[in-house]
Chains A and B, each alone.
Chain A
């Protein structure tokens, strides 16, 4: 068994009187697509927000690749190598698809303020390298035709793809996916699933919140089940489907 890349320990967070996450403890192992499932209000998205720094935890720790993340700001977490996507597709609407991807690239010298005041060649050559990479990803995802369209002009499913491609430009060590298939047509969802599998086979680690259980079963191992802010169970999907506590809390009477 490979070592844990991310370890969440005793994480808690409340909104007003609601305890959104209570003592959540789990691990994400390298090279896995770890699923995070549970009923609405289980605290799945809050966990993603806590890991990515969008929210501060009341208690608990997030250890990533040996570094402590709890309390860090979102951009600091991202610089450690964790890139996230959002429940509502979050693209830069008045940037083209290609520009969205370029912003995704890990921070580089030519994007600094000083380079903007210098000659064009201060940033154009390194940008061409990023541009080649961006085109490559676009072609792999079959979106090259839309490269120079505004991201805001795309369909909901296409925006999800843009967000995913943009995250890949950063070459993250861990990708946090908050319902990447929500609102996506079935064929596109399958295509996204195929890309995610390829990425995992290439060694990328992912933590994915998803409601479409057939996709979770196909993609994710292990799967973490949350309910009422706590981690209920963890294991391969087949095992969870036989777990009475999971069935009671989420999967229901066998027709899920």
Chain B
């Protein structure tokens, strides 16, 4: 019984973390139309930031890991730092991938940046302990709540829920606002938005920073929950896990993003955990990816707007109805 509760509360935490990440991607991809195929790098950057801000210097653990920093900052600074680093990282990434390049090449540049980042983290052992990754990352408030792992899960779940609330506030605020409308305009027609005096570059950059901050926050939470983080956790296919979740759930729709988080990273990946073992070790994990890829393709073909599509934002009539000018244009207007 305790085991089940522990498992379910852990699942709820992972769900919350994924929701934050998918909402961040929705800001970039769903609203602003940025094909950010480097999305996982933002989550990873947040993860590393939280780890390095929370860990003590390497010597404190007998130097069995080597890494930059180890500032041992108190809660909630590592988490905030994760969000800030995720947002700040968006600036160079945006400058490299989004200036001068058209959308299809932007996607390519993003993917390449993602590969470079993994390569760097792997090869540079002094940076974030190379391919082994970081371990022993302190959990937030673990010193305050002297409780069992099962009870601590509830503490962490509350923290995750609070972060989800922040992410919801940011994403919803942007999505419903005139600023969000400008992002959608740039997504639909960059030249059209520019012809009306809006800079597509700065609008996209703002969306990339805001989404990057949410990705960073989700990475920080993930690392502080699992207490370990290495390059194998953020290989480029993980980006497509988020894209699949967003496309299945419905981009441009907050509930859609949450549904996608429930169905794809939690649903598929966790459900297959209960399959009886068959084949060689690791076969089920590989089949997970096959299933995720297949689902993405099916949705792209048959339901590209997802299960909960972006809602049409109808606006109420305002102004003087009688002030209508000349009679409607014959023939065309009014006809569908």
Contacts and interface: CB of A to CB of B under 8 A. Distances in A.
Chain B, interface residues (CB within 8 Å), range: 35 or more
Given A95-B188, A131-B318, A78 B195 contact: yes
A103 B193 contact: yes
Given A75-B194, A99-B313, A113-B179, A187 B325 contact: no
A185 B197 contact: no
A62 to B, nearest CB: 16
Given A103-B185, A116-B179, A140-B325, A91 B192 contact: yes
A35 to B, nearest CB: 21
A231 to B, nearest CB: 24
Interface string A97-109: 0111011101110
B188 A115 contact: no
B335 to A, nearest CB: 8
B310 interface: yes
B315 to A, nearest CB: 5
Given A96-B314, A161-B333, A115 B178 contact: yes
B62 interface: no
A239 interface: no
B188 A187 contact: no
Interface stretch (B169-177, B263-271, B295-303): B169-177
Secondary structure of the A contact surface, majority rule: helix
A180 to B, nearest CB: 14
A75 B199 contact: yes
Given A86-B191, A155-B332, A188-B332, A110 B178 contact: yes
B179 A111 contact: yes
Contacts of A95: 181, 184-185, 188, 313
Nearest to A53: B194
Contacts, number: 181
Contact of B182 (A103, A143, A166, A191): A103
Contacts of A194: 326
B178 A146 contact: no
B196 interface: yes
B276 interface: no
A26 interface: no
Interface in A82-96: 83-86, 90-96
B331 A83 contact: no
B327 to A, nearest CB: 7
Contacts of B198: 75, 103, 107
Interface string B307-336: 000101111111111011111111111111
A228 B319 CA distance: 49
A248 interface: no
B312 A150 contact: yes
B189 interface: yes
Contacts of B210: 113
A124 to B, nearest CB: 9
Given A104-B196, A150-B312, A99 B181 contact: yes
Nearest to A166: B196
Given A90-B189, A117-B170, A150-B312, A102 B181 contact: yes
Given A103-B182, A115-B178, A54 B191 contact: yes
Given A52-B195, A116-B179, A144-B324, A187 B318 contact: no
Contacts of B199: 73, 75
A235 interface: no
Contacts of B185: 92, 95, 99-100, 103
A85 B180 CA distance: 23
30 contacts: A54-B191, A75-B193, A75-B198, A78-B195, A90-B189, A90-B191, A92-B185, A92-B192, A93-B188, A93-B189, A103-B198, A104-B196, A111-B177, A113-B174, A113-B206, A115-B178, A117-B169, A117-B173, A123-B177, A123-B178, A131-B316, A131-B319, A136-B323, A140-B324, A141-B329, A145-B333, A150-B312, A158-B332, A185-B332, A188-B329
Interface of A: 52-54, 73-75, 78-79, 83-86, 90-96, 98-100, 102-104, 106-108, 110-113, 115-118, 120, 123, 127-128, 131-133, 135-136, 139-148, 150, 153, 155, 157-158, 161, 166-167, 170, 184-185, 187-188, 191, 194
Given A74-B195, A143-B334, A148-B315, 9 more contacts: A78-B196, A95-B188, A99-B315, A104-B196, A112-B179, A131-B315, A142-B328, A153-B336, A188-B333
